[in-house]
Amino acid sequence: MTQEQAERATPRTARKAAVLLAIGAVFLIGVLVIAFTRDTQDAQSPLLSRPAPEIVSTTYDDEQFVLSRRKGSWVVLNFFNSTCVPCKREHPELVKFVEGQRAMGSRGAELYTIVNDDSEEAVRSFFAGFGGDWPIIRDDDARIAVDYGIAKVPETWLISPTGVVAQRFTGQVTAELLGSAIAAMSGSE
Residues 43, 151 contacting (CB under 8 angstroms): no
Closer by beta carbon to other proteins, 7 or else 133? 7
d(C-alpha 138, C-alpha 178), whole Å = 23
Interface with other proteins (CB under 8 A), residue from 57, 99, 103, 105? 105
Using CB under 8 A as the binding rule, whether residue 71 contacts other proteins is answered as yes
Q: Which is closer to other proteins, CB of 9 or CB of 103?
A: 9
| Complex with other proteins: residue 32 or 176, whichever CB lies closer | 32
Interface pick for other proteins out of 56, 122, 183, 184 (rule CB under 8 A):
122
Could you count the other beta carbons within 10 Å of the beta carbon of residue 164? 15
Q: Say whether residue 108 binds other proteins (CB under 8 A).
A: yes
Tell me which H or E stretch contains 26.
helix 13-37
CA–CA separation, 105 vs 120, rounded Å?
A: 30
Instruction: Give the shortest CB-162-to-other proteins separation in angstroms.
Output: 4
